[in-house]
Structure 1
């Protein structure tokens, strides 16, 4: 009795941190390591365990059981651990969790059970007693659904990771979870978003539904997501959207609709997204963007329109986002005619966009829009296709020929006068010009003029075709001569 008293007294004289270290190590399970830094951590990962240890240190704040061969969790599987805040069971072979398995863990904040491919079913009372649970990871299991009332006691839950399962619909268990801020449901088999799928999620800030099979979104499906900021709907099967699909998402900062089957963009879709900064519409089948589609996106910084079937981007569509920071337009069959002249000027002014390959007209096909020089006639842009020798408008060709004839006629007359008056000897010996010679000289001059006109017209048209000649300058030269 005296010995025991002395031992307890000696323990009481130990510093508090040393006492905690001793207590943590004293009950450390076999095949595990227990460390005491700021708190007691139990490390049992990669230990070849097929069943749970019988007990853990009651002071444990975190337990890591990753990458073992655990198959079954019985009721109160971990006993009573009032200090436990983090429990990780990733990469095991768990197939069944008894209702109440986590009872006795009243302060658990994080529970990780990802990569347990044999978990196909969860009981309504699986997570009972976890009233302070904030983060739950069930990713990469084989869940087909979850009971609607499974989170009835988990009203503190904020982050739910359920990606890469087999859900065919958004679990009804999410409805009414007003404290949820992050939901990860990517890479499931979800086919539709019903009008009531996400009701009551007023504090949700992050929602990931990418890489599912969503082909239908009902009207007002997202109306309760008033604080949503990041929304991933990319890589689904959407070919159309309701007009008011995103109504109410006034705080949305990023929307990803890439990798779907959308063929047009409606002016109603984004009308309420006044705080949107990044919009992905890449990898769709877009051929048309309705005027006014981006009208209210006053905060937009980045727009992805690459990898679609767009051939034109009319200025009234682009004008509201004229001061955007980044614009991605590559991998589209752009028709580089005068309708994109404004875009080329914008590219040159702001240096924010490049790689816009031209698919047509044939005279500029393969060039980048930045390399195309748009010719002008009387101040008006002339499409590169209209400068082709076979398709050049007759009025442009005729006007060019007439001006060249006038210019060349003046030049030849001046040359003839110079020859006739060249040198004092010529003036002394040639008192009269032979009419026949004069006529012959005139015929030769005319033939020469016609030949030279043809050559010059061909030269100017060629220069205009490749965008190397300013037509306004040419007209000034000819009319001013």
Structure 2
């Protein structure tokens, strides 16, 4: 499988010593913060691993690269840095708050690593506004449970976005719509339980999408419709029992697919996925059946057409969330549903009252990752007036 590890961001002590010996570093020199090391061309300030609790004073205004990782810094405020900055590494600190204006006017900033700040938990929608040159943004292990609408607005040059190992449960529609040059999106290790039709809209150049180790139960059949250049998709270790072949039909460039570690249901609704897997020419993991009992432990990929011989076209599960609803009027944001009501009434002589012998409501929602069936049954008496 492709390597998904983070790039090495640490600068070793040996490398620092070598640069000092070569005269490229000037520790403690004028214009360099105390306990930091500075060197020119480009102007670089290294203050890593010195237990700073605030941004050190005296960082030269012309600094382009600032390394503040592995400290105890808690706040980022406007004025801490100058707009000449190109690279900021401030991962593995104790940041709890970032002033939304901290990076205002930083049109030269290309790489921003805020990862492993576990107490950050929330970001303002305009935190990254105006960072027109930003190509790498690291927000992994930041305790984030949600992302505000528009937080990535205008980041047209962003190529790498690291959001893994947070607590994100839901992604708003069009949250990534401006990221037209994004190639890597890492979302694994969150708490996502659904992917909607427009979750990934606009990601026309995405190459790698990692969503493993979430809690995904269903996926809209058009969730991946813009990802025509995607080569790697990891969905393993989720809670998917169904995934329609239609979901994957848009992924013409796909080379690597991992679906293992899900409780797959290999009944008739799995046939469209089985058909798609038989056509797929890339590398895919096994798809071990959890149910029905006769299929338990088998790999969906190696099932034969005879295993689906009792399936009619209606049972292939080709429907999806997002189809037109026979009921209509559900609203654009509502799950498609088919509601079926059946009632039987009988009159009792001498009384104006009706016996509801059977009340059945069935809500069926077919989506790529889950089919939900809700049934409510009941019986009751009423005379002239009924409320439920």
**Is 1:116 equivalent to 2:53 in the alignment?**
no
CA contact (8 A) 1:126 1:150 kept: no
TM (normalized to structure 1)?
0.56
Residues 23-70 of structure 1: CA distance to partner in whole angstroms, max 9, x if unpaired? xxxxxxxxxx999xxxxx533xxxxxxxxxxxxxxx93334x6xxxxx
Is 1:78 aligned to 2:36, yes or no? Answer: no
Matches for 1:459-470 after TM superposition, within 5 Å: none
Higher strand content, 1 or 2: 2
Does structure 1 residue 173 correspond to structure 2 residue 96?
no
Instruction: Provide the secondary structure at the position in 1 that maps to 2:227.
Output: coil
Give the equivalent residue in structure 1 for 2:23.
Answer: 60
Partner of 2:199: 269
In structure 2, relative to structure 1, the CA distance for the partners of 1:291 and 1:137 (3 Å cut) is: same
CA contact (8 A) 2:102 2:127 kept: no
Residue 127 of structure 1 is aligned with which of 28, 36, 59? 59
Q: CA deviation at 1:354?
A: 2.7
| 1:167-213 Cα distance to aligned partner (Å, 9 max, x none) | 12345422321111111111102211211111111100000100111
**C-alpha separation in 1, matches of 2:46 and 2:223:** 42
How far apart in 1 are the matches of 2:50 and 2:37?
A: 17
Deviations 1:358-397 (A, max 9, x none): 10010010111123223254995899xxxxxxxxxxxxxx
Tell me what 1:305 maps to: 235
Alpha-carbon displacement from aligned partner over 1:424-466 (angstroms, at most 9, x marks no partner): xxxxxxxxxxxxxxxxxxxxxxxxxxxxxxxxxxxxxxxxxxx
Determine whether 1:284 maps to 2:219.
no
285, 288, 310: which is aligned to 1:357? 288
| TM-score, normalised relative to structure 2 | 0.69
Secondary structure (helix, strand or coil) at the match of 2:246 reads helix
Between 307-316 and 351-360, report the one with greater CA deviation.
351-360
Identify the residue that residue 120 of structure 2 maps to in structure 1: 190
Structure of greater relative contact order (alpha carbons < 8 Å, 6+ residues apart): 2
Unaligned 5+ segments in structure 1 are 1-32, 36-40, 44-58, 66-76, 81-86, 88-95, 384-481
Alignment of 1:448-467 (within 5 A): none
Are 1:226 and 2:151 matched, yes or no? no
Separation in 2, partners of 1:220, 1:62:
41
Larger radius of gyration: 1
| Alpha carbons 2:217, 2:238 under 8 Å: kept | yes
- Deviation of the 1:288 alpha carbon: 0.8
Structure 2 distance, partners of 1:357, 1:378, is: 21
